[in-house]
Structure 1
């Protein structure tokens, strides 16, 4: 599309600046105001401190997936051997994509919708990010509500799921596996058939969820879940009431506390009898390097990296848009991605040390007590906690950690939605940010009530299966193609150097290789492999009806369809000329694309300092054609294209 070589990329299209005052008078006024507020950008605001920003980024990236998905994938895919494809995918996909999103969000100081001034034809990608984030927030808070219910249930002298109790609905199939031990296992457990269920399993299905037999049986609203869902939305809304200024304070607790609990649980787990059984199963002598020959292992590693880092959802763009312009986003990207992956590995030791003890006391193999997702968080691990001395204490700590891990990510997801809308419609929403926040939270709460019915867990699993998957892979690939092949990868690199300083050509070799070729190809390959190997979602042994699967595909289509719709609309609105000329025009950055504040608009962006609306007669395609503008230099003149053609 555009020349991605030196001075390449496509040039800005000469369209009126939608918010000319933001680029002119407002931008300069912001600098005067900033001196009093302490913010570099007084109009949008900045993070109060670097620590609040870093904790928010780490809290966003380190979520429930690190706790309940990575350990399972590791032991499923060869134990310690899985770390090889995991680290490779971090280097080739995760880190490049993370660095790219952090850089462009910080450079333009815009939300995930408005950021696509850089490539207007892909503005639908920004809307797709906001819609996907809304769907993720809808079901993610339902999972947090489950954790809240278990937290409240833990404030008792004896955990209710520690044994089969009639008051919560245990039936004749309930079997207390804790009565088994290594010496009596054969006598007590050999006759237990597959129809038997542990107390934690029955408590989860019969009492916590009151789960119906299939998705066709909606049943009643489970009121204790509806109330905990309301509470989780109240907490989310309260934490964001002042945007990043309030959420930045909350993360001092929600981002740090999980690590304190993980360390406590690891120390306790490592001192339990049989802990070594779980560790060996997770990442010890049972590591199977032959698994690396399977394409499925590499797909699992790549998808875990993409999803756990929260890339392509707009969260990173929204959070970094509140950074100061000269913040070192490269160093931040390294710290956050390495912290995220290290936490995943560390959490595996915490989980499997306790599961090893559970296997030891019951005489069962680790493979029979280990699980992933909901099964790990609400069945296997609670059952293991129930066998510990002072079990309510450990359960309270575990579910407090569970909640803080989830809330961090939820804060960032809702901030993505509100930031995207405020930046896209500033005249309407900037002074109405609080009503917007309340409206978003209330709407998603009402929609989320579906997940508190007796079929609620089926809905949560369905949205997670479809919306947390393919859509993000498509968005990530288009993001890389749009910025590096249409806008121009080398131009983007010079934008980054405006923030973090000039780097050597050697420094950029790796990033160019990943951004231009390796990362997009890997993402496309993962997407195609996922489609080819698609299997209809199930929950345990419950098969989803065809209408539910069709609804899942509709959710993906609803998210993605805005990309071509808005792209076509942009072409139609581009004005005169042939279709091809219009297409070329909307592949160029808009006239006011560049750093948000006047003081940072130098070089090829110098003409924006005094612009208030459409470019003047001395500009073509939004870039200065003369050398008289402040900040013009030989390099910036080399980058300017004076023709309207690509």
Structure 2
């Protein structure tokens, strides 16, 4: 592999591609890429699902044996070759398809990531009010919404008496409008729902809670479409000058979420039930879970998903490093920082989960859910009950937006860098290339603004996360270890890669 290095008179080693303005830009970009929405809603739920604190054991093992080595490998490949995910395979062109797979995967993730950003923008705008719209049920909610159901304390549940909106008790002989009795609700298969849940499904997504297929891609929401367009406009203006512009934005987007998480944690610990939530998160350790292969698979896939390995993003970011940058130090610091953030976010999340369980009088297991239901149902429900709720809601959703932006920057930079490296003649028109890519991906994301968009998003997410990322990462390891690293005259795998790293890290105290 030959470094693609050209000296420049403006301080950049590579005149054609450019370099990061300083090392801090690169480090914060890597940290922001690794720390994303998955740290906030996926990792805490996996801990809850897989034995509490016990899940940290397979997670830490997978981090040390798989995550950190692969993270370092991808930083090395991009930095040594000064190439993005499509052209880094010059050392073995037969593996170029891996780079194409990484770029396609990053494009698909960028599409649905911006849908989640559009949801967050929708909530952010809705929070600028004296009373949050999902604080109580409204015209948009169904008859089983909790605050629409009347008080039936005077009704006799054993006689199957139910209350109607006028407050009179009647025998349950057919119509069940306004039922609010757990025994009767179960008997007639009626599910109560919170105002925040119905607001998310009925107002934001406009799908209704009963839709279970993504086949209905009609009725695109113009409100969500405008929020999606705004998300792509933000992406474009933050990235149109590549790392020279995004490297400055990350100083805010990478640090601000930690400030908000700390504020939310302090407020969450003051709420009733928060201690029970935290105990569910870490104290209820189930050692028997370590025998379950699914727990280890969850740990592996979470490491890939969280660190962003095998997506090409690390190739793109490190390709703008100067040749002698200490990528070993960066790999260790970012990997550990990302995982510590996941653990810290779990304390924040479960303090509010415990509070919601206490508020609703239900078991924590009924509240602790992963995915969009955590970010757009549980947390909005929680902040709606706190004094000065609009302020907390604004902070919450602005934090989600900044978390998403960091990851989105690198996902798109992977696509931009890959295209510009593969077709260097268009580099002088890179602003137009960025605009064209954003417009295409915006158009591909519009179906997710339809009624069945949530289920289409879930389908795409489940299809590309997990095994596809593991397979791409494994193939990359084979390419470097046995094709490039074990060239015929070498007896040890990875030997050539190790020699390359020694050249780059000649001044590193870690190798002396």
State the TM-score, normalized to the length of structure 1: 0.70
Alpha-carbon displacement from aligned partner over 1:408-448 (angstroms, at most 9, x marks no partner): 10010111001001111112x21111110000000000111
Contact 1:178 1:361 in 2 (8 A): no
CA distance in 2, matches of 1:157, 1:178: 24
- 2:70 is matched with 97
Contact 2:301 2:467 in 1 (8 A): no
Contact 1:72 1:372 in 2 (8 A): yes
Among candidates 359, 371, 374, match of residue 372 of structure 2:
374
- Residue 172 (structure 1) aligned with residue 172 (structure 2): no
CA distance in 2, matches of 1:275, 1:189: 27
CA distance in 1, matches of 2:463, 2:439: 23
- 1:403 is matched with 401
Post-superposition shift, 1:400? 0.7
Give secondary structure in 2 for the equivalent of 1:160. Answer: coil
- Residue 204 (structure 1) aligned with residue 200 (structure 2): yes
CA distance in 2, matches of 1:84, 1:376: 24
Alpha-carbon displacement from aligned partner over 1:277-334 (angstroms, at most 9, x marks no partner): 10001112x1211111111111111110011100011000000000011111000000
Contact 1:201 1:379 in 2 (8 A): yes
Contact 2:114 2:232 in 1 (8 A): yes
- 1:248 is matched with 247
Among candidates 428, 431, 453, match of residue 456 of structure 1:
453
- Residue 324 (structure 1) aligned with residue 322 (structure 2): yes
- 1:60 is matched with 33
CA distance in 2, matches of 1:401, 1:179: 36
State the TM-score, normalized to the length of structure 2: 0.88
Alpha-carbon displacement from aligned partner over 1:165-210 (angstroms, at most 9, x marks no partner): 11xx112111149999xxxxx9977445452211111111111001
Post-superposition shift, 1:219? 2.5
Equivalent residue pairs, number: 471
Give secondary structure in 2 for the equivalent of 1:141. Answer: helix
- 1:437 is matched with 434
Contact 2:216 2:450 in 1 (8 A): no
Alpha-carbon displacement from aligned partner over 1:236-280 (angstroms, at most 9, x marks no partner): 000001100000111111100000000000000011121101000
CA separation of 1:179/1:348 partners in 2, compared to 1, >3 Å: closer, same or farther?
Answer: farther
Alignment of 1:436-515 (within 5 A): 436-488=433-485, 489-501=494-506
CA distance in 2, matches of 1:195, 1:266: 31
CA distance in 1, matches of 2:506, 2:12: 22
Alpha-carbon displacement from aligned partner over 1:542-575 (angstroms, at most 9, x marks no partner): xxxxxxxxxxxxxxxxxxxxxxxxxxxxxxxxxx
CA distance in 1, matches of 2:150, 2:357: 12
RMSD of equivalent CA atoms: 2.2
Alpha-carbon displacement from aligned partner over 1:333-369 (angstroms, at most 9, x marks no partner): 0010001000000000001111111111221111111
- Residue 293 (structure 1) aligned with residue 271 (structure 2): no
Contact 2:326 2:508 in 1 (8 A): no
CA distance in 1, matches of 2:102, 2:428: 23
Alignment of 1:50-199 (within 5 A): 50-166=23-139, 169-176=140-147, 190-191=182-183, 193=186, 195-199=191-195
Among candidates 5, 11, 33, match of residue 38 of structure 1:
11
CA distance in 2, matches of 1:40, 1:398: 40
CA distance in 2, matches of 1:507, 1:459: 48
Alpha-carbon displacement from aligned partner over 1:70-95 (angstroms, at most 9, x marks no partner): 00000111111111110000011100
CA distance in 2, matches of 1:290, 1:125: 37
CA separation of 1:503/1:267 partners in 2, compared to 1, >3 Å: closer, same or farther?
Answer: closer
Q: Identify unmatched segments of 5+ residues in structure 2.
A: 152-156, 159-179, 486-493
- 1:425 is matched with 423
CA separation of 1:502/1:250 partners in 2, compared to 1, >3 Å: closer, same or farther?
Answer: closer
Contact 1:179 1:362 in 2 (8 A): no
Give secondary structure in 2 for the equivalent of 1:161. Answer: coil
- Residue 361 (structure 1) aligned with residue 373 (structure 2): no
CA distance in 2, matches of 1:394, 1:281: 24
CA separation of 1:484/1:503 partners in 2, compared to 1, >3 Å: closer, same or farther?
Answer: farther
CA distance in 2, matches of 1:103, 1:353: 39
CA distance in 1, matches of 2:215, 2:46: 31
CA separation of 1:486/1:178 partners in 2, compared to 1, >3 Å: closer, same or farther?
Answer: farther
Alignment of 1:517-532 (within 5 A): none
Contact 1:178 1:387 in 2 (8 A): no
CA distance in 2, matches of 1:385, 1:288: 31
- Residue 391 (structure 1) aligned with residue 362 (structure 2): no
Q: Identify unmatched segments of 5+ residues in structure 1.
A: 1-11, 181-185, 509-646
- 1:604 is matched with none
CA distance in 2, matches of 1:442, 1:397: 29
- 2:265 is matched with 266
Contact 2:33 2:410 in 1 (8 A): yes
Give secondary structure in 2 for the equivalent of 1:454. Answer: coil
Give secondary structure in 1 for the equivalent of 2:216. Answer: coil
Give secondary structure in 1 for the equivalent of 2:323. Answer: coil
CA separation of 1:189/1:152 partners in 2, compared to 1, >3 Å: closer, same or farther?
Answer: farther
Alpha-carbon displacement from aligned partner over 1:42-87 (angstroms, at most 9, x marks no partner): 2211101111111100000001100010000001111111111100
Contact 1:137 1:410 in 2 (8 A): yes
Contact 1:359 1:366 in 2 (8 A): yes
Alignment of 1:503-582 (within 5 A): none
Alpha-carbon displacement from aligned partner over 1:505-538 (angstroms, at most 9, x marks no partner): x979xxxxxxxxxxxxxxxxxxxxxxxxxxxxxx
CA distance in 2, matches of 1:374, 1:358: 16
